[in-house]
Structure 1
Amino acid sequence: MSEPTAPADGGPGRTAASLLLAVGVIVAGLALAVAALLPWAGVTAEFGVLNTELTHAVRGVDDGSGWFVAGAGVISMLLGVLGVVRNWLFTGFAILPGAVAAFSLAMFLTDPQGLADRLDFRIPGLVDVHPSIQYGWFAALLASVLVAAFAAAALLRRR
């Protein structure tokens, strides 16, 4: 275990582990912000006669939930930077935007109008239309969990 270094402002010392956790929050926050730009959902139409499929994708920022996730990613990065520059406690506060991002991702999956049920239809042998969750949603979920995990580890390390 490394020894704490005394910062110039006279605040509590930082260990290499606390700096590593802060950098982890920064990187995961960046991944969270970028994942909001990726495709989150789509509607796929498979045509049996032509043996082809057509997909229309929806990016995260095309919906209000995506903007919350992007904002949570930026705030996580800022808190991670403050954790490196100022105090380890800022790194721990990143658990809040990580939780907001996870909640926004869950809200994205809820469909109050039942649109997914109306888009899901099939004519055997001719066409099969169904909604799907794309890779960007899963990347955002993983990044939000990583932000929360790094932040929780920073908080638990100081108990």
Structure 2
Amino acid sequence: MKRLQVHNKALYLSVLAGSGFFFLAALGPGILDVRASESIGSWQYRVFELLCHQDSARSFNISGVQMAVCSRCISIYGFFFFGMMSMPVFALVKPSLQKQEIKWLIAAILLNLVDVIGNYFGIWSNTHISRFLLGGAFGIILALILTNEFFTTNKSE
């Protein structure tokens, strides 16, 4: 039977809490049913304007209010947060495949890049769903890579 060991517990909990906060903030003011023009909700757009283009045509809406980030970015934040919450399970069910996971991360980055370039040059038109899925692949793989930084497993007798 495998036994889960946690190291860097304080750092893990900090990254988990931080990623949860970023995910919730990225959902935008609609999550609180607040209009973007109201002062309590506008801070989210200002926080993420350096990280995301915030194009309304590429963003989901909640309660009729645009999220603070585009569909690709919300997926990255959401899947990363989900991956952080799932790390103990990842550590128990998967062997350490750091080299393989790096290849997956490179593949996810390249797929996102190809999607952006293909859309930019009019080769195809990406959608909210395609951007969401490709961003999610990047977010979950990034969390998967970090699993070994916080958890290890030992076989118990």
- TM interval, shorter chain, is 0.3 to 0.5
Structure label with greater radius of gyration:
1
Q: TM-score, normalised by structure 2?
A: 0.35
The structure richer in strand per residue is 1
Q: TM-score, normalised by structure 1?
A: 0.35
The structure richer in helix per residue is 2
